[in-house]
Amino acid sequence: MNGPVLGEGQSLTQRGGVNIGGFFFTLFPKLVSPNGSSRSIKEDNIVNFHLFLSEQATSRGRSRQNRKKYKTLDPKKMDEYVASFNISLPTMIFVHGFQETNNAIAINGLLSAVSRSGRWNVVVVDWHQLSAGPWYPWALYNIQATGRFVANFIDSLGTAIEEQSYNEVRRRGRSDFLENLHIVGFSLGAHVAGIAGHHVTIGKVGRITGLDPAYPLVELLGSKNNLLDESDAQFVDVIHTGGGVFGTPYKMGHADFFPNGGRGVQPGCESLPFPHICSHWRAWRFFAESLLDERSFESLPCDSWEKFKRGDCDSSMNDAVNGTVYMGVGARNTARGRYYLRTYPTPPFSMPL
């Protein structure tokens, strides 16, 4: 399989800006037309796809760090990718948020968790050239083009799987690939995931998880088709932790989870310098923890946080309708509606009902 191997802290395209701790800033923001933009993106390498290979512990003096390795995928050579693809595993695609890179804190946290489970092929979408800080309105505008490019990538990968001559791959086929495909997007990346799901042409994506989908200025996008919604995949679940500030406060998917009410400041964030950023980040931290234990974060279906706090939610509904419903990667694809739960202020965050 061709393509450069990247170490943690590296990215294929970091020209015209600076990467500070996994956050990318530039003086020259880019705008890409939502329609007919995929060709220019491919030529400029503005959006890249990195196959996560491994995480290795390294030591520097007294400090110990985990170094991640990626292989950059060429959408034009998907047949070579499939030849090295572990077809016995489902695929998970991570999409970072505003002013982040493939080396962002959120992506590193998710990859550290997923590497310990070893249950997925993992691809990271690196769109930092189009989501660069401090230009949030530009990044918001660029989610359309980025989502379409992610959709093109998925179409190419699914088609390559179908066209492979290996019997095992043929038995699986692209329909099974899509059914077992899980796109996870944080903040603006959640809307990129939704747009990608909307524009995939070879079938319906199995699952999209939105981690506190971005809220500021989304009304400027107009149509609901420009944001994550339940039509974008067979199952769309959303974790709300910073609703009304950085995260969207209202229901968006088939199943929406509102830990600690999903609004205001999350437990453990109150005394920090930036409590609302901390609360926004809780979404990916909760999801990362669920990757290690699918039966963590048990939740209850309920109409509101107020009813949940009063104990007016019927816990028997969990077992009667869907079985126990967990927030995170273990969420049942039959779950529907609003779900509430409490969490601890520090990890491990999962709290029994």
> 3-state class of 97 per DSSP?
coil
- Cα torsion through 219, 249, 145, 231, rounded to 10: -110
Catalytic residue list: 187, 212, 280
Q: How far apart are CA 279 and CA 245, in angstroms?
A: 10
Angle at 55 between CA 49 and CA 57, to 5 degrees: 150
Contacts of 6 (CB under 8 A, 6+ apart): 12, 50, 69, 70, 71, 72, 102
Q: How far apart are CA 245 and CA 237, in angstroms?
A: 20
Query: Is residue 106 within 8 Å of residue 74, measured between CB atoms?
Result: no
> 3-state class of 198 per DSSP?
helix
